[in-house]
Amino acid sequence: MKRILGIGNALVDVLVNLPNDSLLNEFNLPKGSMQHVDEATANCLWEKIQPLGTQVVAGGSAANTIAGIAQLGLPCTFIGKTGNDDLGHRFAADQTTHGIRSLLLKSTTATGRCTVSITPDAERTMATYLGAAIELTPKDLNEQMFEGYDYFHIEGYLVQNHDLVRCAVALAKSKQQIISLDLASYNVVEENLEFLRDILHNYVDIVFANEAEAEAFTGKQPREALDELAKYCSIAVVKIGKHGSFVKSGDKCYTIQPYPTKAIDATGAGDLYAAGFLYAHASGLPLDKCGDIGSFVSDKVVGVIGPKLSETAWESIRKHVNKLRVEN
């Protein structure tokens, strides 16, 4: 059984349904983006959204992916940093609930949180106060943390700390792990383009991007962007929302069909796609089946608010996976 290690910003998501775009405009938050905000802005947002009703869940891109893989049955570990506070305890408890081995470092700074604003078009816009998460540094990592794993998954949101990313992927590479990277957000790609190109070329085996991220990286539309991304690493995945996804490795390219679901919230869709794909890849399934499982899981999560699925939904996913195993 393959073992998966992930690293990312340990955040708690504060989910809110907005009736329109006015709050996004007030705080200058481009729809569909992820923007970093300071603590004062995060607190102001918190006050503004309280009357609308909120849902608080453990989040963070890589943490969501690792939780999904754990739900599918593979041993997983997550590296992150939280504050020694209520939100940090919530995050740790959620990881335990999902069967994840946590390597959570502690800080005196508050646990990071991400305000996820969901508009009526099911788009999610994120305002992230990183808090303790940003204090994770190369000095926090060591070879022992990376021992015994087959895959290493990293989120693009970590690229605000180039030294940390370089240290992490170098340690994973030294252990001959398969390294996957989710490009995270189009504005993150735009701001760190040359750095990401270097990391993809020298370390990454599997890259995940949605169409906006793929265009930010390549300047091209999804299908052509896929070809460009596939020049950097062994497997490239470009997700095109309700239209499915593309997967390419070498000369082989697959068009992955979506599973029709009424979308109400895109939060966690990309993270859970990566979870399904990586689980299938680690289980030895061919790339078209990896994409299919990623699509099936992500389409389940867009039908609910937030990145968490019920046990009933996970049972449905496991049945789908078993069906594909038999067919394979």
State residue 55's pLDDT score: 86
Which string of DSSP letters, residue by residue, matches 24-62?
HHHTT--TT-EEE--HHHHHHHHHHHGGG--EEEEE-HH
Per-residue pLDDT tens over the stretch 209-233: 999 999 999 999 999 999 999 999 9
| pLDDT the model gives residue 66 | 97
Q: From CA 243, how far away is CA 257, in angstroms rounded?
A: 7
Please report the pLDDT score of residue 236 as a whole number: 98
- Examine the pLDDT at 319 and tell me if it is beyond 90: yes
Supply the pLDDT for residue 271.
95
Q: Is the pLDDT of residue 141 over 90?
A: yes
Which pLDDT score, from 0 to 100, does residue 185 have?
85
- pTM given for the model: 0.91
Q: What is the CATH number of the domain that holds 209?
A: 3.40.1190.20
Instruction: Give helix 287-301 / helix 269-282 axis angle, nearest 10°.
Output: 150
Residues 6+ apart with CB under 8 A from 208: 180, 181, 182, 183, 237, 239, 270, 273, 274, 277
What are the angstrom distances between the C-alpha of 277 and each of 11, 51, 134, 271, 290? 23, 38, 28, 10, 5
Query: Could you report the per-residue pLDDT of 78-132, keeping only the tens digit for each?
Result: 999 999 999 999 999 999 998 999 999 999 999 999 999 999 998 889 899 999 9
Total of domains in the chain? 1
| Burial track 81-100 (b if 16+ CB lie within 10 A, e otherwise) | bbbebebbebbbebbeebeb
Asked whether 140 and 17 are in contact (CB, 8 A), the reply is no
Range of the domain at 63: 4-327
Tokens of 53: 């009703």
Residue 328 pLDDT: 75
